[in-house]
């Protein structure tokens, strides 16, 4: 395995994009997610920026992919502002997935980030598993942690 690199030198890999898309799924018509938040495409909400999601909204697959790329770029920037230690590509990709799902505000105040920035990589992975609500998120979280720990890009682990 290659050495860890400063996050500023990393971009979300193709495998990272693919696994986040699998974890999120894609719906071309606006729907309420498990927390009651209007969502469209590949996990896009109004909180992530344009376009604003509204009831009855529909998009094409091409639009969903474009929105996802913009959202992923934004989450990369947020990750760069928070992660202060070197990471492997698979760790960066797993963190991007985690932040994409959790939100940068939640991650900013998390034990996972505190441990990571103290170079406690295993402690970070352990703390990521604490974000296990609603219950249907648990298999995704296990997938992200497996990816973080062992570079296995599985969307979900039961």
Query: Residue 122: is it exposed, middle or buried by C-beta count within 10 angstroms (0-12/13-18/19+)?
Result: exposed
- Higher-confidence position of 74 and 122: 122
- Please state, rounded to an integer, the average pLDDT across all residues of the chain: 93
Residue by residue, DSSP assigns 94-149 as HHHHHHHHH-HHHHHT-HHHHHHHTT-HHHHHHHHTT---SGGGHHHHHHHHHHHH
Class of domain 7-24+60-150: mainly alpha
Residue 1: its pLDDT value, please? 66
Which one of 15, 24, 122, 144 is the catalytic residue? 24
Active site residue 24: yes
Identify the bridge partners of residue 41 per DSSP, sorted by sequence position.
27
Residue with tokens 């760069």, as numbered in its chain: 80
Q: How confident is the model at residue 157 (pLDDT cuts 50, 70, 90)?
A: very high
Contact 125, 149 (CB under 8 A): yes
Contact 147, 20 (CB under 8 A): no
Contact 79, 3 (CB under 8 A): no
Left if phi > 0, otherwise alpha if psi is -120 to 50, otherwise beta: which for 140?
alpha
**Domain boundary assignment for the chain:** 7-24+60-150
Active site residue 33: yes
- The pairs formed by 49-53 with CB atoms below 8 angstroms and a separation of 24 or more are 49/74
120-142: average pLDDT: 96
Does the pTM of the predicted model rise above 0.85?
yes
Which one of 3, 14, 33, 146 is the catalytic residue? 33
126-143: average pLDDT: 95
Residue percentage of the chain with pLDDT more than 70? 99
Contact 7, 80 (CB under 8 A): yes
Alpha-carbon gap, residue 88 to 10, rounded angstroms: 9
């Amino acid at each position: 395995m290659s050495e860890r690199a400063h996050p500023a030198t990393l971009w979300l890999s193709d495998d990272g994009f693919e696994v986040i898309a699998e974890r999120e799924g894609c719906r071309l018509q606006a729907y309420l997610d498990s927390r009651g938040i209007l969502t469209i495409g590949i996990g896009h909400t109004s909180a992530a920026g344009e376009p604003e999601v509204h009831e009855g909204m529909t998009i094409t697959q091409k639009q969903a992919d474009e929105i996802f790329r913009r959202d992923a770029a934004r989450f990369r920037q947020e990750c760069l502002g928070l992660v202060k230690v070197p990471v492997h590509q698979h760790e960066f990709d797993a963190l991007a997935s985690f932040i994409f799902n959790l939100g940068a505000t939640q991650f900013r105040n998390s034990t996972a980030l505190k441990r990571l920035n103290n170079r406690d990589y295993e402690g970070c992975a352990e703390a990521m598993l604490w974000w296990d609500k609603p219950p249907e998120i648990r298999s995704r979280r296990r997938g992200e942690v497996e990816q973080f720990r062992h570079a296995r890009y599985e969307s979900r682990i039961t």
